[in-house]
Structure 1
Amino acid sequence: MMDGMRRAGQTLIGRIVITVLFGFLILSFAIWGIADMIRNVGRVNVAQVGSAEISAQAFRETYQTELQNLSRRARRAITGEEARTLGLDQQVLSRMIAEAAMDQRVHAYGLALSDETIAKAITADRNFQGADGRFDRNRFDEVIRQSGYNEQTFVRTQRAVYLRQQLADSVAGAMPAPTVLRDAIHRYRNETRAAEYFVLDASKAGDIPTPDEATLQKFFDERKATFRAPDYRKINIIALSPADVANPDSVSDADAKASYEANKARFGTPERRAVQQLVFPSLDEARQAAEKIKAGATFESIAEERKATPQDYDLGLVTREAIIDPEVAKTAFSLPAGTVSDPVEGRFGVVLVRVGEVQPASTLSFEEAAPVIKAEIARNHARDTVQDIHDKVEDQRASARPLAEIAKDLKLNLRTIDAVDRAGRDKAQKPVDLPEREALLQAVFASDIGVDNEAISARDGGYVWFEVAGIEPSRERTLAEVKADVETQWREDQIAGRLASKASEFVKKANEGATIAALAAEAGVEARTAQGVRRSGETGGLPAAAVAQVFSTQVGKTAAAIGGTGQERIVLRVTSADVPQLLSTQQEAEQIDSQVRVALGDDLLNAYINDLQKEIGVTRNETVLRSVIGGGI
């Protein structure tokens, strides 16, 4: 072809023809090829953040790392569709954009870290420390290798992280905790209320007549979805754990003894003491109180003088490490039981410390701990065996062999579950015992017959293999199939409706002046009282719904709430509300301050990053993003 073109180019007509052809070729490149090249240049970036680019390759690597981490946490393979449903792609991209924006501001401010500083920070990281609390080079290499880094890239990444943290600290690191917010949180957590109430149970609903066929049919037709038969799956399962193959008897006493000596602290219980502390505004007042106690006054009487409740001064049965103030901890764990200290100048003020019960530290002997140690060592050894079996199972699955044949060949236990729904129940509505229950059910109902499913990684280092052997689709049931259930639910609805009406009538009478005792007598039930009711769960003898109602009702007012079941109604009147004083010297005040500072700091930093992104400009390329997470661009 080239020879022909060369010969044609030797004549005038030939040169003209070749010139025209090449002209068209060049023009086509200009129209199509160059445009494609320009478009391709724009397509290689997922986002532009100021002057920084987030390439498709960089996003792909970060996204895949996060997807793998998510799969490890779920103990099964997470599909791309599931990850998109969870918004993983947008979360990863948003984080990378925020980091790119902060990196540019870090550069603009000239922030930097020396090699010595970054080395010191890394070696102080607890993730890289051995059992002795010191930096372990082997552990460091293992951890960063598992995370997909070499030393150079890890150090570079960490340097960027620490520099961003410097910027973040300068923006929101010293955020004060507003007193009004701290007090509101304290009130929400510690407010207690009292109420008087009575309970209307199903027996107070009166006689419920037997419904006729038309009534049941109407009730059923309005609630067909409630009685619909669920989707059932028949599944075969092989579950393998280290405990299945572990043999503690094979572990020698010498190996167990060596492990015991290396981890002796694990088999000990630290000393615990019942500690109480009273805080004083000055050293003189503390000394005066101490003298009174030496003269015969009780610790409780001094607390009453200072209007302090046990909640204010009782730390409970604690270890030394649980006491925040080091001076108080030192004093508390040097006093004899049943004694009160001299004034101690602590971090939050001057305190008197009293020690009650003392539970001394104790350590299990080797003989006592040996069974546990040998079992642990055996399980660790068994993990290698489990992995070998895993590889053998996967080799056979690669040959498309069913689990029943694999189980028979490798002498593994195969379980067949004839029917299980999405909630893990059989057709009798009884729970089915399943390994890795949540992960398995989710995977089973995302699969189909004949699908080669990924093995589920178990918490204990084992594996669960499964295959869907049959599917019974969800369907509408007839009234004849569920007549007993329909009649039961109809009756329950009738009872609930009647009790709700009665409760409303009693609430109206109570708010018009009737007492709870009188109304309870009218209803033929016992009037009760609830003291010390808190927002957290069932307290003061009231179920959670009634507790919520107590805190939604003004003191002196009456309201109704659902009882412990749908077949109960509670009529209650809030009689009092109390909020204990929050002292700035209390540990709780310090904890609330810390939580508020962190929350407000996070909010401020997010606002800063949003403004920074607006200032430098951010452009996302959703087309490239979809292409990357779809498998390539």
Structure 2
Amino acid sequence: MSQFPAVKRVSPSPQNALASRVPADNQSGCTSSFREFRRMIGGMRKFARSKWALILLFIPLVIALAVTLPDTFGGGMSGGTLTKIGEREVKGTEVRAEIDRAIRRALIEEQKVISLAEAAQPGGLAERELLSMEYQDTVLAFADKMGIRASAETLKAYLERNQVLTNAFGKVDVASIRAEAQDRGISPLEFEQFLQDFLTQRYVEVAAFSAVNLPDVLSEPFIKYFGETRTLSLARPTPAGIAGVAPPTDADVEAWYNINKERFTQPERRRISALVYTPDDFLDQAPLTDEQVRAEYDASIKLYSTPETRDIVEYNGTDRNSVQGFIDLVMQGLTPEEALARSTGITPIERKVMPEQIEDENYRKFLFELPAGRVHNAPFQVTEGAPFQTALVKTITPGTPTPFEQAAEQVRRNLALPEASRLYEESAEPFRDAAGGQSLEEIGKQFGLPVYNLAPVNAQGRTANGDQAALLVANRDAMRDLFTLAPGQMTTVYEGDNQRSMFRLDEIVPSSILPLADVKDEVRQIVMAERQLAAMEAAANAMVTAVKGGAQFGAAATASKLEALPAITLTREGGQQIDQALVTAGFALKEGEVGLIRGSSGEAWVARVDAIIPATPESTALIRMQMGSQVNQSLQQDLAEVFQRGLQNEVEFKRNEEGITAFFKGMQPQDTAQ
């Protein structure tokens, strides 16, 4: 297992901090591949983003390695208790800190602004964080009661076995631990408590869920159904079969329209006006000088440049030991060329690469974070089963910067967005006040916003020509409300994803039938298509009759102007080489039966089932494996709810409902909190 300089740090995370993304403690350890290493690190990072993350990964070392680090964090967090579980407490300050981290992370990683008011909505980010922390403490309180506790020695072994915060020799790296603790502002004691909690929870969860397997009563019907294969003989329609179809006359078109005119009924539509704004509407209110924009451009020049190019050398070995031997020679002071001359089984591959040329995301990130001029200090595999290798970046050619004149607008926007987002949030209350009694035009004038007049739309947000009104489709609540209003009435104010809006119904356009003149070409095409499909069906039926009467399949196809195809063997999943509608219809026939089947466009084919083969042992094993993970995941989700309720019966679980309500209300702006 290799250790990469760029991935030593643990960063903040998602809702369930102690999710099973991180490997459970076990003696088998984990795979030595580069991919598995990065997966594990990724899991650690995600795991570390909760309240637990402030403490993870560094503590056991306090005891096991006798590392003495200064306790700079003080005594633990204080704050109102939202939930008491056994002797453990979920405090409001802890939940709020986790919410703030998630909001900052969304802004940095996704450029998404989430307000506290949005986070506090029912089912929102704040509630998810509270439920996640309650679940964690419920499991740990049960472990406390049962006397289950991970030891410091086990934690040290766990880190080394999974190659987290270790040096090139696979041992725990004290320098990395100290650096991470300093970055986090966390004391060694808190690190120790966290890691022990983490592994303790994993012990309880693994014990609870490891015995969940896919029952045979569920798997056998699926295996028989999806594991069966069939050999089909097929005959498809040809252009020759429809060559004699006569095009419809104007009289034919008019007659068809008169019978089917209801098909051209236009639904009721509504003409709507909208007032919409986003943080971008406040960008010009964030004062920035040209000097500030230029300074930001210079400081972040890589963001405004084409990708850099790197000249790299990949040293592939026959096995891990050969690569490690080469690395050891370089570490002793030899140049890569000298070490290569004294090594066996090492093949260097030089190439010039840009980021988009590296398919594996983890390897791409690794290569473009690797310092130039230094051979990486541990063997790794890019993918499972790939050769062991190490890498050297020889030179780095920076990308070409976008000229400042061309990038200035984007730089200015990036700089102004935080202030614009703040002004957007502060405008919520004045905008709602203005919405109480004024027209859209008056509100727009007050806030400097245009009123948009939209083309009439139906209940699905589509105009008469089929286009969708993106503004309305993205706001389903507004769509629903607008179709309950009378002309002249306005909606409430809607809060969306960095978008605030309100609407007015201007006019109801009644339902109508399009005249023949507007749809004549479309009707002509429909009539012609129907005639062609009818010709195909007649030819297919004639072939079916002939085959049932004893004619050879291919000869009957030729006589009916169809094309007989080579026999094909397939499962119910079909494949890219055949229309899935044909597969489904073919599997509805009995063995030896010949019949007409239809493709997804309605065209008539002829099929004969030549053989039905039950599931083989190989396909049975494959389907069982594929089903197992999916069904088990569903079962475990259901069991997890039962599991948590069961634990709550074993430990004292007491929620401070008034405190929780007050906590969420305190996160909302004054006008929505009342």
Q: TM-score range by the shorter chain?
A: 0.3 to 0.5
Compare relative contact order (CA 8 Å, sep 6+) and give the higher one, 1 or 2: 1
Q: TM-score, normalised by structure 1?
A: 0.48
Higher Rg: 1
Structure showing the higher helix proportion among its residues = 1
